[in-house]
Amino acid sequence: MNTNRLDTDLLIAGGGLAGATLALALARFVPELSVTVVEAFPLSPDALPADYQPSYDARSTALAWGSRRIFDALDLWPGLSEHATPIRHIHVSDRGRFGATRLHAHEHDQEALGYVADNRWMGLSLMRALMGTSVNWLAPAEVVDMTPVSGGVRVAIQRGNEPHEVNARCLVIADGGRSGLREKLGFIARTEDYGQNALIANVSTSDSHGFTAYERFTEAGPMALLPHGSPARAGHESALVWTLSDSELSDILSLSDEQKCQKLQARFGWRLGRFTRIGQCHHYPLKLTTVAEPVRPGVALVGNAAHALHPVAGQGFNLALRGLMTLVEQFRRAVDEGLPIGDLAVLGRYQQLHREDWQQTVQFSDSLIRIFGQPLSPVAAARDVGLVGLDLMPGAKRWFARKAMGTGGRKPQVPSQALLAKAGEHDE
């Protein structure tokens, strides 16, 4: 059988949320580069549904305010916001103890601290936007092998029965948390198992969510309830992220929906009134995976392939987005300066600029889990003081809010004014 051959500047392995967003950002900010995405699922733009109906069982992602700014810069926000529920308040509490803190968007002069968007809607919006670009999609197809060669990487791809060979000047690996390609190339990933699972489901409650996200820390682990449904009217539907041990998970999964609601009621309490319905449950084992050296000549890791976090603090994709934009900035600079895009100097700058952000974000979400996962009373008492203190001290509260909004810490401001100006030049 003949092998199909292709040359491309950039090959993105994996067209999930990270890979697809990177492709769109490259099309907008570095249109000089040819970009090919290889995705295992049939994500071809030809197969897009004509319209979108939000589903009760759709999985969703909490987007920080900083991520909205990035989607704005990609011209994606006007469409995305049609099904993105604003988070106007965050309520953090500790079950059975008195500590609690509340954050409000208006205290930060913003319309929202973040948003909850359906993953399916984000995927569809990205695909629609990509249809209008020159990005080349190979899907369903799989990257099966990679060989570093002079000036880039030779990538073997299987598309049905057809073998393809692509010579890329740079390979970006975006194949997710269980990244087989990362392992294949010998990148060293550090994984810590939390020994817990996240159960995800949409739930209905007798009281309206009032656009409030609840982060509740219980002795058995943290849980989050995020406002879901209409962006315009505060409804009665929330997206649940419930942390459970292996045995608790199998117990819960064996229950009827009514019994699941009762368990949830006992764990969460009555802040949202009665739990009246629970949708389809999905579950994931929780691990913290980080890669200290996510680049090498001609290859960079992004998204969950580079760092996978505990989902309860809702930081994983937000961090990934900032990393993607930092990488795009470096590609833009390389093209302007006539440097090869796979050069280690180019990719090394991405690593260097993104490192502090991912270290701080990993530490923030990991410490939330560890501090609040402790049932011992001195620790519990200290965190109560912490939560109350957070509520009383505007400085500390601002720090926490900026972390939650994805705007705090020493993060590179992405996209930079220089990148936005460049995109403006291309639009003219």
Ligand X SMILES: Cc1cc2nc3c(=O)[nH]c(=O)nc-3n(C[C@H](O)[C@H](O)[C@H](O)COP(=O)(O)OP(=O)(O)OC[C@H]3O[C@@H](n4cnc5c(N)ncnc54)[C@H](O)[C@@H]3O)c2cc1C
Binding residues for ligand X (CB under 6 A)? 13-19, 38-41, 61-62, 142-143, 174-177, 180-181, 198, 200, 241, 284, 303-305, 311, 314-318, 320
Q: How far is the CB of 140 from ligand X (least distance, A)?
A: 8
Amino acid 13 reads A
Q: Which is nearer to ligand X, 116 or 272 (CB)?
A: 116
* Closest to 127 measured CA to CA, from 57, 187, 79, 188: 79
CB of 210 to ligand X, least distance (A): 19
Characterize the bridge pairing of strands 237-244 and 221-228: antiparallel
Give whichever of 17 and 244 is closer to ligand X, judged by the CB atom.
17
Residue nearest to ligand X (CB): 16
* 3-class SS shares of the chain: helix, strand, coil, % to 5: 40, 30, 30
10 Å CB burial of residue 186 (0-12, 13-18, 19+) is: exposed
Smallest gap from Cβ 309 to ligand X, in A, equals 7
Two tokens, residue 290: 């980080």
DSSP-H helix ranges across 43-176: 65-73, 77-80, 119-131
Q: How far is the CB of 418 from ligand X (least distance, A)?
A: 26
The residue (of 131 and 345) whose beta carbon lies closer to ligand X is 131
Peptide bond into 140 cis (omega under 30): yes
DSSP SS3 for 28: helix
DSSP secondary structure string for all residues of 215-230: EEEETTEEEEEEEES-
Q: For residues 380 and 401, which CB has a smaller minimum distance to ligand X in the complex? A: 401
Give 377's contacts (C-beta < 8 A, 6+ positions apart).
none
Q: Which residues contact 45 (CB under 8 A, 6 or more apart)?
A: 127, 128, 130, 131, 137
Closest approach of ligand X to the CB of residue 321, in Å: 8
Characterise 152 by phi-psi region: left (phi > 0), alpha (psi -120 to 50), beta (else): left
The amino acid occupying position 211 is: F
Integer-rounded Cα radius of gyration of the chain: 22
340 versus 373: smaller Cβ distance to ligand X: 373
With respect to ligand X, which residue has the nearer C-beta, 56 or 343? 56
Minimum CB distance to ligand X smaller for 141 or for 380: 141
Minimum Å gap between C-beta 325 and ligand X is 14
Using the minimum distance from each CB to ligand X, give the nearer residue, 282 or 426.
282
Question: From the CB of 53, what's the least distance to ligand X, in Å?
Answer: 22
* Closest distance of CB 200 from ligand X, Å: 5
**Residue with smaller CB distance to ligand X, 67 or 204:** 67
Give the start-end residues of each E strand in 245-356: 275-278, 282-290, 295-296, 299-301, 307-308
For residues 241 and 200, is the Cβ–Cβ distance under 8 A? Answer: yes
Q: How far is the CB of 123 from ligand X (least distance, A)?
A: 9
